[in-house]
Amino acid sequence: MPLAGPRFLVLDKPPGPTSHDCVDIVRAVVGDRRVGHTGTLDPFASGVLLLGLGPATRLISFLEDDHKVYRCGLRLGRATTTGDTEGETRAEAPVPPLDVAKVRAALEGMCGQRSQTTPLYSAVKVNGRRLYELARAGVEVEAPVRSVRIDAVELIALSGDLIDLRLTCGKGTYARAFGEELAERLGTVGHLEALRREATGGATLAHAVDLPRLAHLVAAEPPPTGADGEVDWRAVLRSPRGVPRLPWLPRAEIDALLSDVLRSPTAVLDGLPALQLLPAQVERLLRSGVLPGPEVAPLPAAPPDHGRFLACVGDEVVALGEERAGLRRALRVLPGAAPA
């Protein structure tokens, strides 16, 4: 039986599986098909993948995720078709002598609102088809140029032809394209050797659960380990085709254990004021979608510029509301979220 109430899972995605692979794994773990992510991570990338579960999927489009933090490893001297380790070599160039001062000088002027050419291997659609589909089919198209926002770039380390950076940016920014531009400014070419998302919106690695931990959570026996001593999470969560996965605990036991790793909407949307509703107000909301007006139930704090707030019963969110010019409306109602 699926878990009751809207919940989120902050997953620490490993390199390798796609974001959709991770969605499928979590669907099985939580026993609910209603799982959606708030922003794709490339297969080679790792880090924060925020997943909405059950009724929380109705909140995904309203999440404030216009703030992302990436740890980037930029390898100079070789450019690839994808801008990362997944692609084939498309160009090579010598790497000039570099020091920290030269890299910092190249980074100057790269912050702020700026134009960025979308990578050909990306999920952006052109004429109804995704760019990566067109690229794989050999169809030549002009990649769209978009306005993106770079908030900050921190040079963490320079070791030979490898540059370690922390990139803080807005939604829609491609770290791969940023790395290629930086390499060009340094007089060479490059590609991302590593990419790790450390934060998206209010979700960070500090809140994240990795796949080995999920494997421990559901496995009916201790999961096997590989030669490196790491838990073989695939044997438990996603075994190869034709190979039966290892047995899981009963559904009720898994659901009880999940309570330690799942996060409520109030935790994920902690920047929004929470309006506590009375039983009669909840009944009216669930029946007709009407929220009590500000004259009846004032908010405990002013909402952000977009006017959004949470309507709650205790710690459970039953609706996402919006207040503008003294008027309220329910943007999303979550039936079944309120405790009986």
pTM of the full structure: 0.88
Instruction: Tell me which H or E stretch contains 130.
Output: strand 129-130
214 plus 122 within the same structural domain: no
Q: What is the pLDDT of residue 1?
A: 43
Q: What is the pLDDT of residue 269?
A: 80
293 plus 306 within the same structural domain: yes
327 plus 285 within the same structural domain: yes
Per-residue pLDDT of the chain (340 residues; tens, 9 = 90+): 445 578 999 999 999 999 999 999 999 999 999 999 988 888 899 999 999 999 999 988 887 667 899 999 999 999 999 999 989 999 999 999 999 999 999 999 899 999 988 777 777 777 777 777 767 777 777 777 889 999 999 999 999 999 999 999 998 899 999 999 999 999 999 999 999 999 998 889 998 999 999 999 999 999 999 888 888 999 999 988 888 889 999 999 999 999 889 998 888 887 789 999 999 999 999 999 999 999 999 999 988 888 999 999 988 899 999 999 889 999 999 866 555 5
> Looking at residue 325, which CATH number applies to its domain?
2.30.130.10
Which of 258, 287, 304 delimits the end of a domain? 258
> Looking at residue 212, which CATH number applies to its domain?
3.30.70
Domain count across the chain: 3
Phi, psi of 295 (to 5 degrees): -75, -25
340 occurs within a structural domain: no
CB 7 within 8 A of CB 264: yes
CB atoms within 10 A of CB 214: 27
Q: What is the pLDDT of residue 172?
A: 86
33 plus 75 within the same structural domain: no
14 occurs within a structural domain: yes
Q: What is the pLDDT of residue 213?
A: 95
74 plus 58 within the same structural domain: no
15 plus 27 within the same structural domain: yes
Cα gap 258→148, rounded to integer Å:
37
**Which domain covers residue 60, as residue numbers?**
7-65+204-258
Tell me which residues are annotated as active site.
42
Tokens 């949307």 found at = 269
2 occurs within a structural domain: no
Among candidate residues 53, 59, 58, 61, the one with its CA nearest the CA of residue 7: 53
> Looking at residue 150, which CATH number applies to its domain?
3.30.2350.10
Which of 167, 195, 223 delimits the end of a domain? 195
325 occurs within a structural domain: yes
The 3-state DSSP class for residue 288 equals helix
129 plus 49 within the same structural domain: no
169 plus 111 within the same structural domain: yes
265 occurs within a structural domain: no
Among candidate residues 223, 220, 221, 204, the one with its CA nearest the CA of residue 212: 223
CB 59 within 8 A of CB 332: yes
